[in-house]
Amino acid sequence: MRYLLGLLSILLIFLPSATFSQGSYYFTLVEGKKSLAKGDFVRAEEFLTKSLAEFKEIGDYILLWRAYAYNNLQKYEEALRDIEELKKNYPRSTVIKEGRKLELEIAKTLKLNSLGSIYDSFVSDYPEEVAIKFEYATYLKEKRELEKAKRLFKEIFLTPSSFADKAEEELSANDISADDLLKKGRILNNAYLFKKAERYLREALQRIKGSQNTEFLSALGYCLFMQKKYVESAEIFKRSRDFYWRARSLLRAKDFETFERELPEYLKSSDIRMADVFINYANIKRRAGLNDEGIRILKMVVSKYPEAKEEAMWNMAWNYYTSGQYEEGRRILQELYDSYGKPKYFYWLDRINEKKGVVPTKKYTFQFRQGDVYSYLLYMKGKTNLVPETSKIRENITLNRRLEILIKAGFREEALREIKTILKDNRDMENIPIYSRLLYELGDYPTSVRLISKFPNRFSYQELLYPRVYEDSVLKASKRFNLDAYLIFAIMREESRFDRLAQSPAGALGLMQLMPDTARREGSRIGVYFRKDSEIFEQEKNILVGSAYLKNLIEEFGNIVFAIAAYNAGEKAVSSWLKNYSYKEIDEFMEDIPFAETRNYVQKVLSSYFEYLRGNRNLTAEHISEIIKIRGGKL
C-alpha cells in the first residue's frame, strides 16, 4: 500500500478541492473488483452494479469488470449488453479493446453467426493483435474462405511475432515472393533477430539469382554486419557498391590493406556518413602510432565535410594532446571552446595548462552544465562551482475525475493506463513533474525517469531524475560486497532505467542487464543459482549478482572507471585497451575508449553517480573526487 499512501498524500497537498467523502461507495467499488479477482462472481456482480451509478466517470471499467463476472456466470446476454454499452457510451475508452476481446470469446462460446464479422471488425481495428488475427485466419480456412485466410497468414508471416512461423506453415513457396522475403528480412533486422533475418534474405537472393538488386544485398550486408560477420558483410557491400558500409565492414574486419587500396574510391563519395568512417580510420592510425597520417586524414575531413568539422577538429586536438604536441592541441581546443563553449573543450585546455605549468593570461567564465561529465570533473578539480538549483514549478494541476477515482480506489494498473493515455494525448510540458511523481508512486519507475528527463527544469526534481528504488535490495548488496549503494543505483539507472523486466537486443536481462552466462558464472561464485533465464529478472537476485560482478571488476582493475567500462564492454576488451594503448591518467582512458557505446556509457554512469552522491550526501568536491578517484588518477 506504500504507493497508495504516497499518492493520497500528493492528492491532499496539491488537490485541496478534491472531495473524498464517498467512503462507503469506494468500499463497494473496491469489493466488487476484489471479488472478481477472487472468483466470487456473484458478489462481484452485486457490488459492481451498485458502483456503476455512483462512478459513471469510470463506468467503462465497471462495465468491463461486470461483463467478466457475467461471462463467468454464463450470463452471456448480460455480458454482451455491458460490452455494447461500453462501446456506445465510452468510445474513447482505453479498455474497449479488452471488451471486444471478451465479446469475441463469448461469440466463440455461443458459436454466433456474427462471429466472422466480429473477427473481421476486430482485426481491422487492431491489426497489431497477431494472436487474434491468426485465430481469424484459421477460422476462415475452416470456412473454406481460402484467399482471405491466405492474405491474413501472409500478413502474420511478415511480423517478428511468435505466430509468424505457424503462419508460414500455412503458405506455399509460391505464396511468398522474393519481395516478401526481403520485407521479412528487414522486419527481423529491425527486431534485432539478425540470424533469422539472414536465412530469409539469403533465400530471397537465391530467388533473384543473377540479379544485382542492391536492396536485397544491402539488407543482407547489414544483417551480417550486426552479427559481427565483417568479412562476409564487406563482400556483400562490395557487390551492392555501398561504400559507407563496405568501408565500415573493412575497418571492423581490420582489413586495412583493402581499405587503403579502395580509399581513392571512397574519397569520391559525397555521403556525409563517410566523414565518420574517415574519423574512425584517423583514430586507428593514431592508436597505431601514425599520428601524422591521422592528422592528414582529419584535415581532409574538415575541408571536405563542413558538417563534420567540429568532430574532426576535436579528434585532431585529441591526436595532438595524446602525442604530446600540446601547443597544437591548445590552439584547436581554444578555437573549439570559443566556437561551441562545451565543457569538454574547456577541461582539456585546462589539462594542457596543468601539464605545461601554464597560468592562462585570459580568464574564461565556465558555464557549469548538469549532466555533463566534464562539468563534474572540473568541479572536482575546484575549477568551477555547482550551479544553484532552479526552483521547482508548483505541482498544482487538477487531476481528472477518472484518475482521481482510480488512485483512491487503489487500482494501480488502471491508474497507470490513464496517466499514459493522458500523456499520449497531452504534450503540456508544465505538467510533467506531477505525472512523473504519480508514475513513481505507482511503481512505474522507467516511465517516471524517462518522463522527467524530458523536462527542461529536470535537475530540480532530483528524487525523480535519480531515484533510490529497490533500495532494500541495493542496501543489502552494498553491505554484503562493501560497495557504494549510489554506484549500484547509477549502474541500474543507465542500464535499465529501473525496468525490472528490461531485455536488451543482445540478450542482457533485468535491472542490471546481466547476460545469462555472466549471471550464472557470477551467481555460482556467491551462492546464487539460476535454473532458468527467467529467474535473472528477479529483483533481488539480479541486483545481488550484478553488484557482485561490479565489485569483482573493481577489484580486478583497481578503479571504478575501468570497472564501469568492463561492465559494458567486457573484461577482455578493457584489459586489451590498457595493455595496448599508452594511457597515462584515468581521464585520458575515459575519453579514449575505442568503443563509442562504452565511452558514452562510462560518462553517463559517472554523471549519474556524481548526482547520486551530490543529492544524497553533504559532500565537498574533494570528498566526491576521492570517492570516484578520477582526478589526477595515475595508471
For residue 386, tell me if it sits in a domain. no
For residue 349, tell me if it sits in a domain. no
Give yes or no for a contact between 528 and 545, defined as CB atoms under 8 angstroms apart: yes
For residue 535, tell me if it sits in a domain. yes
- Above 70 in pLDDT, residue 5? no
Say how many residues make up the chain. 635
Percent of the chain with pLDDT over 70: 90
- Above 70 in pLDDT, residue 594? yes
Comparing 45 with 390, which gets the higher pLDDT? 45
Q: Count Cβ atoms below 10 Å from residue 66 Cβ, excluding itself.
A: 30
Q: Which set of grid coordinates corresponds to residue 197?
A: 533475418
- Above 60 in pLDDT, residue 3? no
Listed in sequence order, the residues at least 6 apart from 154 whose beta carbon sits closer than 8 Å to its beta carbon are: 167, 171, 175, 176, 180
In tens, the pLDDT along 415-450 reads 999 999 988 877 677 889 999 999 999 999 999 999
Average pLDDT over residues 522-526: 95
Q: Which set of grid coordinates corresponds to residue 579?
A: 595493455
Domain edge (last residue) among 144, 175, 206: 175
The predicted pLDDT at position 384 comes to 79
Question: What is the distance of C-alpha 467 from the center of its chain?
Answer: 17
Q: Which set of grid coordinates corresponds to residue 8?
A: 493520497
Q: Count Cβ atoms below 10 Å from residue 386 Cβ, excluding itself.
A: 12
Instruction: Choose, from 418, 494, 495, 588, the residue flagged as catalytic.
Output: 495
What are the residue ranges of helices labelled H in 482-530?
485-496, 516-526
Average pLDDT in the chain: 90
**CA within 13 Å, CB half, 503:** 11
The predicted pLDDT at position 614 comes to 83
C-alpha to C-alpha distance for 386 and 367, rounded to whole angstroms: 10
For residue 9, tell me if it sits in a domain. no
The predicted pLDDT at position 356 comes to 85
Single out the residue of 126, 74, 133 nearest to residue 99, CA to CA.
Answer: 126
For residue 122, tell me if it sits in a domain. yes
**Burial grade of 206 (CB within 10 A; 0-12, 13-18, 19 or more):** exposed
C-alpha to C-alpha distance for 49 and 59, rounded to whole angstroms: 10
Task: For residue 386, give the DSSP letter.
Answer: P
The predicted pLDDT at position 364 comes to 61
Q: Which domain holds residue 94?
A: 15-175
Q: Which band of pLDDT confidence, cut at 50, 70 and 90, is reported for residue 17?
A: very low
For residue 427, tell me if it sits in a domain. no
Domain edge (last residue) among 175, 195, 220: 175
Q: Is 495 in the active site?
A: yes
Q: Which band of pLDDT confidence, cut at 50, 70 and 90, is reported for residue 385?
A: confident
Q: Which band of pLDDT confidence, cut at 50, 70 and 90, is reported for residue 363?
A: low
Listed in sequence order, the residues at least 6 apart from 247 whose beta carbon sits closer than 8 Å to its beta carbon are: 259, 262, 266, 274, 277
* CATH classification of the domain holding 577: 1.10.530.10
Give the torsion through C-alpha atoms of 305, 308, 310, 311, to 10 deg: -130
For residue 388, tell me if it sits in a domain. no
For residue 566, tell me if it sits in a domain. yes
- Above 50 in pLDDT, residue 105? yes
As for how many domains the chain has, the answer is: 2
Domain edge (last residue) among 175, 199, 222: 175
The predicted pLDDT at position 635 comes to 35
In tens, the pLDDT along 547-574 reads 999 999 999 999 999 999 999 999 999 9
* CATH classification of the domain holding 43: 1.25.40.10
- pTM exceeds 0.75 for this model: yes
